[in-house]
Amino acid sequence: MHRFTVWRYLSLEKFEWLLADNGLYFSRADQQEDPDEGGYHEKQMIADLNSATEDKYLKENVVMRHRNIRELNRRTTYLSCWHKNSQENQAMWDKFAPEGADVVIQSNLMYLITQIPKGLTEVITPDDCDYDKSKAGVGNQRNFKFKDEKYAPENEFRLYIDSGTLYYKTNIRFDNALMVEVGNQTAYAADYSDNVTAPGTIFKKNEYGLVVAYNLQRLINSVHTSPNATEAQKNHIRQLLHKAGLDIPVVSSSLQANPIA
């Protein structure tokens, strides 16, 4: 089963948000570290245009329109990114969770897929990243699958949500008309409309992300503390899980000298 093991490295703050939200955070694609997330090289498109027409104004218009569509897609696509590996990775700790209080949650990609809330199975797309960016292009609906080769060490598995598909399939639309809270309930606990086919599954966290309500007890196999964690920091993680009502083992990092679970 090791080939299905996935990890999500989190700062302490993000881990606390995960527990408070009781679900997975999906970040808007244009907020990712990769400035070309979901993008594609324009070289082939421009070559095709040059072959099709000599109208400079038309070519400029087509290129600008595609750039606008690409940016719109980046602002309306949301990602949850995971690292595939049979074990912890020091480089991932250093990059995404460098502090002693930080953690990594261990899960299984099959759980990530099978625990997608009912009503969102046609909305949330699971996929492995392909580190050959040349495969991305105009009209390719899977451009968020492709990343530059320099990101290959992250060995990423991701879930992504397209806002258009979300609205089409569920009638849920995240705009100013949709409140994050209804009364004293968080959005995913309230049923907005009889037309909504996936109530109780998703809400808008902030301007830059959505939260999908997952069963964290089933989703998280274990929580691993930082290689630099003190005993006090490990105990704090245990207390946070207990407060959230979760019975999930807290494991000392395998990269820590003489780790003690």
The predicted pLDDT at position 183 comes to 46
Output the pLDDT for position 175: 55
Can you give the pLDDT at residue 135? 86
- Structure confidence at residue 198 (pLDDT): 58
| Per-block mean pLDDT, blocks of 10 residues, the chain (261 long) | 86 97 94 88 74 80 79 90 97 97 96 90 93 80 89 96 85 54 44 47 86 94 97 98 98 81 53
In 110-252, DSSP assigns E strands to 124-128, 156-162, 181-182, 185-186, 202-206, 209-212, 222-225, 250-251
Domain-by-domain residue ranges, the chain?
Answer: 2-251
171's CB contacts (< 8 A; 6+ apart) are 193, 195, 196, 197
Query: Helices (DSSP H) in 139-215: which residue ranges?
Result: 163-170
pLDDT of residue 192: 38
Q: Which residues of 170-197 are buried (b: 16+ CB within 10 A; e: fewer)?
A: bebebeeeeeeeeeeebbbebeeeeebe
Per-residue model confidence (pLDDT) at position 7: 98
Instruction: State the distance between the two ends of the chain, measured CA to CA, in whole angstroms.
Output: 21
Contacts of 179 (CB under 8 A, 6+ apart): 187
CA 97 vs. chain centroid, Å, equals 16
